[in-house]
Amino acid sequence: MDTIGYLYENSFVASTPLLNLLLYNYDTGGPVKFGFTYYLSSGITYILVVTTSSTDVTGAFSILASGPSEFTLTLIVITIPTGTTIATTAAGPCAAKPGSIVIADIKAIQLEPRSLSPPIVYHRGPVVSTPVVYVIWYGNWTGNNGTTLIENFLRGLGSTPWWSIDRAYNNTSPIRFGRSTSNSYSQGKTLTQADIFAIVQQAITSLALPRDTNGIYFVLTSVDCTATYFCTQACGWHSTDFQSGLIYSWIGNPEQLCPRSCSYQQVSPNGNVGADAMVSVIAHEAAESVSDPYLNAWFDSNCDEVADKCAWTFGTTTALSNGAVYNMVVNNVKYLVQQNWRLATQDCGMS
């Protein structure tokens, strides 16, 4: 019996199965039932997806609830034709499988505390041993000192105590900055994931950037650009094209579109709310691109990767005269960067 259940927050998109994924669980074979426990929060829509790629799964799927929580439940049954691949962008046990799907939208009312964070575990997938960052400045960055702030951060990130945390995941080398290029709206101002990968491909085929198997290609979009899920569900993400082996990431500039959604503070260490906010997301995606490039290396039982487990936590900070706070200095420039997950102690920290 090959059945996997996935719990999502707010929405489920079959083409990007890791987006909004809270946790998953699966059976171990034989006539058994699978299940998982998650504390629901009020005001959030939850989606339960159950997949099977086997013909020996019989009977109806059911959802059991106990305790004082109340919620409304709507079931939608979708049958995926045999041979259809739901997810081509995920390779590990966090990827959805083809088969029959039961989707349940759960609107919870009661607020309960979440359980303790499970440990990060190695799932034997490859990591990026000698990572090199390449940046594509997409859109219009003219006159924006964010390019200088971000490239300074990337040039020094590999030598920081923060990055030493990521090196513990299979002893990866310090991340280093390769080079950058620009792209003036070749895919427009409203981008899909396919558009973002096309931007990466264009930079490589034009020889603006090299094709590097250890490369992580960051598409950093200007304030007038938006992308799928930006501001509502994501501030950035990382992915891999399995056909070419290219690892890439997108981060949006939230200064105009959603400074309160994708920025921790409304004043920033360097007077550039958008770029300062992007720095933390870049660190997040860089750490995960290196430790889990193919979505089958380092993650926990909830499918959280290393930086996911510490997202929007910053540890001890220092205040500046303009009211902003910072917690990291790279090449004499102050930044506010989220904590990372320490493998040895299984907790969040900055070193």
Question: CATH number of the domain that 217 lies in?
Answer: 3.40.390
List b or e across 78-100, with b for residues whose CB sees 16 or more CB atoms inside 10 angstroms. Answer: eebeeeeebbebbbbbbbbbbbb
**Do residues 240 and 320 share a domain?**
yes
| Structure token digits, residue 184 | 């003036």
CA-to-CA distance for 96 and 78, rounded, in angstroms?
Answer: 14
Residues 143 and 61 in one domain: no
Instruction: State whether 85 and 155 are in the same domain.
Output: no
Stated pTM of the model: 0.71
Asked, for residue 117, whether it belongs to a domain, the answer is no
Same domain for 201 and 88, yes or no, is: no
Residues 299, 185 share a domain? yes
Q: Is the pLDDT of residue 59 over 50?
A: no
Give the span between the Cα atoms of 30 and 52, in whole angstroms.
14
Residues 212 and 78 in one domain: no
Confidence band for 89, pLDDT divided at 50, 70 and 90:
very low
In a domain, 120, yes or no: no
Distances from the Cα of 13 to the Cα of 8, 83, 201, 219, 290, angstroms: 10, 19, 24, 22, 24
- Which of 108, 123, 157 is the C-terminal boundary of a domain? 108
Residue 117: per-residue pLDDT: 77
Least reliable range by pLDDT among 47-61, 217-231, 241-255 = 47-61
Asked, for residue 123, whether it belongs to a domain, the answer is: no
**Count of the separate structural domains present in the chain:** 2
**125 occurs within a structural domain:** no
Both 86 and 232 in one domain: the answer is no
Asked if residue 114 belongs to a domain, the reply is no
Do 300 and 243 fall within a single domain?
A: yes
Whether 97 maps to a domain, the answer reads: yes
Winning range, highest mean pLDDT, from 77-81, 112-116, 299-303: 299-303
- pLDDT by residue (tens digit) across 259-284? 888 999 999 999 999 999 999 999 99
What is the overall mean pLDDT for the chain?
79
Structural domain that includes position 9: 3-108
At residue 303, does pLDDT exceed 90?
Answer: no
